[in-house]
Structure 1
Amino acid sequence: MKKIYFMLLAVLTMAVTVTSCSDNDPFATATSNDNPHILDPVFANRVNGELPVISEFNRDGSFSMTVTVTPAEFTTVTWNFDGQESHTGTAIDTTLLAGTYDVKVIATTVEGKSTFREGLVKVKPLDSDPYTSTVGVERIVASGGNATLFGGKLTNVKSLIIGGVTIDAQPAADGNSLNYTVPTTLADGSYRVTMVTSDGKMYGADKIAINKQTMVVDAAIRSSAKAPVTINGINMENIASITINGNTITEFVAQTATSLTFTCPDLEAGDYVMTAKTKAGDDVMFYVDKAFVATGKLTVTSEKTLWEGHSYVSWELPDGDPNKIFQSTVSSMFENVKVGAHVRVYYSLKSSDSYHQIQLMTPSWTILSVGTKKDIAADGVWEFVLNDNDRNLIMNQGALAIGGHGFYVDRVTVE
């Protein structure tokens, strides 16, 4: 019996010992030498090189986010907006003007080790706000040059703030664009633009990029043989020569800071490589496939341009507004255009408009046989073959008119 008693006593003692060990406080395993990790939130991967959108809200809202990092006690979190440090800490809640912001969350340990997550924050203007949109490459500008921002409700914008410099703004009468002169005191780089209205309120206008390179910004360059060709860009006064299919051109019809006109060589219809040099011997850069490269393309065609520009169209505007319909291709332009000719309307969308439709007609709102192009989703060309009835309508009613909503007419041609 005693033997059983002592055995039970021994087991009880072991149990007490084990229980005592399990009551010890847990100890931290993370050290200052560990690599940092951002555990939450997880940002999506880039798609076709584009950063993911991590937050989108109206400008009367806020960007709010909390991150979890490890080793937490040895890591500092900083928030960079467009490459500039803005906040410190694991949580952020801040308001922003309208625009798209590149936000980088950086976790750095006391040993200097770091990791980051990066994404875009999109802040939308309110319905009553002045706003800007990006039409093409108009946001790539030259120091001291004249530049334009496109958008809407811009009539009361009186000045812009760019890189801390305040400059005058000249809005168009229709409020869909404003002109300004790029400050000469700013170095090359990317700058966020703030609009200031006559009552002192501030609104976001996204960013511009100041560049000293000579750059041709036309996405497509077309001409007929031996005809004048005008190319547009920045710092164009620096161009010394253009070479097309082995033909080097050094004498120009006209040359300014924003455009250059030369005579197209006598070439057959087709696509030709085009390069250019500045007076300093540098390559001129061409806008091709949404990137600037040293080799451009000239398309030689029998196509004739009737009108070229950038004219907004919206049938929602009141009667008498010059942008209610487009009617710059007057009937006299069609006098020598034969039935069977190919008419092309080049257009680009105003992305901020809620829908996009194009209607071909006359100034009397008589619709041509090709009718209306609905639910347009991207910039493009509407081509149709001119028939006898449509030609008669254009000739008898004064012009080829273009109606619809949410787009710009960029060019009208016949071939």
Structure 2
Amino acid sequence: MKKILYSLVAVMVVLSMGMLGSCSEDNDGFITATEDDFPQILLPWFGEWENGEPAVYKSLSRNTEFVDSVTVTPALYTTVEWFIDDEKIHEGKKIQHSFLTGEYILKIVATTTKGKSTSRTGKLVVLPLDSDPNPGSDIRDRLVVPGQPAKLHGTNMDKVVKITIGEKEAVATFVENGDNSYIEYIVPADLALGTYRVTLTDNEGNVYGGGKIEISNEAPVVTEETLWEGEFSVTWDTPFTELQEQFKDLVKSGDIVRAYVTGEGQGTMTTGWWNNILTGKGDPEREDITISGSMTLEFTLTDYSMELMNEQAGALFVGNGYTITKISKE
């Protein structure tokens, strides 16, 4: 009886060893597959696409390095490549890379020694620091024509002295316009049509990501309606009141109000109570705009702006030392 039991134990041990041998693990801790097998990316996970767009895979601050790794099978026969916007930036299962502010398309491609491949695609979003120049996404700023003047609105744009589109540089001039301040520049005339990633440079040579700009034969069509035209000299004693009660009926949330001005002074668009039309703050926190020469003051109205107009006796332009020649909305 004991002999039978010993025999059964021996058979089980042999079978167990055989099973382990046929399922031996590779160095990455996964079951070994052959080079003829189709590759799989086991990690990391990527979200499902929506409306033809890949999901956001990761978001990080621009001062944080992108550090990641990939687990694939068959591990011994598969190479991994990392692509950003269809450009290969790294090869290997681990990556450590720095990015400027912007939104990137990240693609990971796994390919076996037999040429079989698979991939994963997602968005990599790199966020600016609070103190960084941070341009907006207005189509009027992002669709420009070679050789023509252009603007780029945003926050902290007063730091920018140069804009680079592709490999072409242009001098940037800052225009103070309150919450709608911007830089002006001439689009390099020798840029081929297409989409380019933009960088912004400050006085100290620091470089910041600025998203993408499309070079086109035609600038975007702007539909602008004139609300008032003439010549009105604004002083502290004579604010612009020509449209005070009408403003709330002429505009809506989302409209861009533009005041075309000239002079040497300061001022802004306010409620009838002289509070900033966008923030509701009064002097000394009203943030009047410095006016020097011919300028266009822009105010993108919000729901809060409309509430302020209705509650605080309409809208004015206040300040001193400048003349309004036209007011429009878009």
- 2:110 maps to what in 1? 107
The answer on whether the counterparts of 2:143 and 2:220 sit within 8 Å (CA) in structure 1 is no
Structure 2 residue 70 is the aligned partner of structure 1 residue 67:
yes
- 1:400 maps to what in 2? 316
- 2:123 maps to what in 1? 120
The answer on whether the counterparts of 1:65 and 1:91 sit within 8 Å (CA) in structure 2 is yes
In the superposition, the TM-score normalised over structure 2's length comes to 0.67
Quick one: structure 1 residues 95 and 366, their matched pair in 2 at CA, closer, same or farther if it must change by over 3 Å?
Answer: closer
- 2:216 maps to what in 1? 211
Instruction: Read off the aligned partner of 1:182 and give its amino acid letter.
Output: V
Find the partner of 1:344 among 251, 260, 280: 251
In the superposition, the TM-score normalised over structure 1's length comes to 0.54
1:61 Cα deviation after fit:
1.2
RMSD between superposed Cα atoms in Å: 3.9
The alignment covers a number of residue pairs equal to 269
Separation in 2, partners of 1:190, 1:147:
16
Which structure has more helix as a fraction of its residues? 2
1:66-122 deviation line (CA, Å, top 9, x unaligned): 222222222221111122111112222222111212211222222222222222222
Separation in 2, partners of 1:115, 1:43:
13
Separation in 1, partners of 2:227, 2:156:
30
Q: Which runs of 4+ in 1 moved over 6 A?
A: 378-384
Find the partner of 1:23 among 17, 34, 45: 17
Separation in 2, partners of 1:333, 1:131:
33
Structure 2 residue 233 is the aligned partner of structure 1 residue 306:
no
The answer on whether the counterparts of 1:330 and 1:400 sit within 8 Å (CA) in structure 2 is yes
Separation in 1, partners of 2:9, 2:213:
73
Structure 2 residue 167 is the aligned partner of structure 1 residue 164:
yes
Quick one: structure 1 residues 347 and 9, their matched pair in 2 at CA, closer, same or farther if it must change by over 3 Å?
Answer: closer
1:363 Cα deviation after fit:
6.5
Instruction: Read off the aligned partner of 2:240 and give its amino acid letter.
Output: V
1:9-40 deviation line (CA, Å, top 9, x unaligned): 35534532442343343446512222222222
Q: What SS class does the counterpart of residue 158 from structure 2 fall into?
A: coil
In the TM superposition, 1:20-99 aligns within 5 A as: 20-24=14-18, 25=21, 26-27=23-24, 30-99=33-102
- 2:6 maps to what in 1? 12
The answer on whether the counterparts of 2:39 and 2:117 sit within 8 Å (CA) in structure 1 is yes
Quick one: structure 1 residues 93 and 401, their matched pair in 2 at CA, closer, same or farther if it must change by over 3 Å?
Answer: same
Quick one: structure 1 residues 360 and 199, their matched pair in 2 at CA, closer, same or farther if it must change by over 3 Å?
Answer: closer
1:307 Cα deviation after fit:
5.8
Separation in 2, partners of 1:366, 1:168:
32
Instruction: Read off the aligned partner of 2:47 and give its amino acid letter.
Output: A
Separation in 2, partners of 1:340, 1:167:
38
Separation in 2, partners of 1:169, 1:82:
27
- 2:200 maps to what in 1? 195
1:205 Cα deviation after fit:
0.9
Quick one: structure 1 residues 19 and 91, their matched pair in 2 at CA, closer, same or farther if it must change by over 3 Å?
Answer: same
The answer on whether the counterparts of 1:362 and 1:401 sit within 8 Å (CA) in structure 2 is no
Quick one: structure 1 residues 343 and 51, their matched pair in 2 at CA, closer, same or farther if it must change by over 3 Å?
Answer: same
Separation in 1, partners of 2:174, 2:248:
39
Q: Greater relative contact order (Cα 8 A, min sep 6): structure 1 or 2?
A: 2
- 1:143 maps to what in 2? 146
Instruction: Read off the aligned partner of 2:13 and give its amino acid letter.
Output: T
Quick one: structure 1 residues 333 and 9, their matched pair in 2 at CA, closer, same or farther if it must change by over 3 Å?
Answer: closer
